[in-house]
Amino acid sequence: MDLANFSARQIDRALRDAPVILTSDHPKIVLFSDCHRGIGTAADSFLPNKSLYMAALSYYYNAGFTYIELGDGDELWENRGWRDICHMHSDVFQKLTEFQLAGRLYMLWGNHDRAKSSRRFLSASPECFPFLMPVFTEGLILAGNDGCPDLHLIHGHQGDILNDTLWQGARWMVRYLWKPLELAGFRDPTSAAKNYTRKENAEWRMQSWVDARQSSLVAGHTHRPHLTMERGPSYYNTGSCVHPGAITCLELVYGQLTLVKWTTCVDERRYMYVCREEISGKKNLCQP
């Protein structure tokens, strides 16, 4: 099998019927991915960084940003249902609902929360979004204007045989085999975030699509943030919300893309606070 062509076809399929939103209608956008919200147990990777994430959400809501989540927002491989996650992190979903009611919320699904692609699954947990359940899509296109290029958004698992085509088998492995072993210190072999070879392969697949299609692609999945300052079509990655002591995201503000880290800082009085740090320069996407 030609893996490059197979992966390209899978990404094309994810984007074929993707909704299109205009960046002129949403001049300030924040892109998050891989929050992996759980049920509050020791296996909940999101829980240690929840305060950072909530601080970031409040900042972006008050500043008028549109929130876009690129999949794996909730950990639905290790956990069977969404309801327990919603109850555990009800404050998170309340804030996301505020974005939704303001018309500033877009959600993609990834391999770990692929169940959100099923309307039957969503109808079983209406309390997550009590007013109106968001439409979860596999892809999304940010259409630029005035010479700014389009950005194609996916989660990033597309084309990975194990996490895409054989995802049900991979979910079974994680839920019943690797979840208890992970607590004992073993690494999940299905994860692109925890397996260096799978991470490299995932990034190679996405970069190959960019080179072949001459279009820019934004993803998550690997948990490795990436923002190149080179001109032309590029591959970008948001990182994740489960880094040790930090969360990362991409901000797109009036055509400029910035990689941002939220972490805990200490001031001169030794008071701790949540701080926002730009870990890359601003890239102007609208420059030829």
Report the C-alpha gap between 177 and 175 in whole angstroms: 6
pLDDT of 18 reads 97
Quote the pLDDT of residue 131: 84
Q: Exposed/middle/buried for 65, CB within 10 Å: 0-12, 13-18, 19+?
A: buried
Residue pair 64/255 in contact by the 8 Å Cβ criterion: no
The Cα 113–Cα 196 span in angstroms is 22
pLDDT for 177: 65
177: left (phi over 0), alpha (psi -120 to 50) or beta: alpha
**Gap between the Cα atoms of 7 and 3, Å rounded:** 6
Tell me, what's the pLDDT at 117? 93
Give, for all 288 residues of the chain, the pLDDT tens digit: 566 788 899 999 999 999 999 999 999 999 999 999 999 998 899 999 999 999 999 999 999 999 999 999 999 988 888 999 999 999 999 999 999 999 999 999 999 999 999 988 888 778 889 888 999 999 999 998 777 899 999 999 998 777 777 667 677 677 666 666 565 555 555 455 556 677 888 899 999 999 999 999 999 999 999 999 998 999 999 999 999 999 999 999 999 999 999 999 999 999 999 999 999 889 999 876
pLDDT at 281: 82
Question: How far is it, in rounded angstroms, from Cα 152 to Cα 171?
Answer: 26
* 3-state SS, residue 7: helix
Give the other-Cβ count within 10 Å of 265's Cβ. Answer: 12
Helix, strand, coil share of the chain (percent; to 5): 35, 25, 45
Distance CA 47, CA 244 (A): 11
Q: Determine if the pTM surpasses 0.85.
A: yes
Q: Quick one: which H or E segment has residue 162?
A: none
- Has domain 3-284 been given CATH number 3.60.21? yes
**Residue 257, token pair as written in the block:** 């893309």
Residue-wise DSSP of 199-247:
HHHHHHHHHHHHHHHT-EEEE-SS---B----SSS-EEE---S-BTTEE
What residues does each domain of the chain span? 3-284
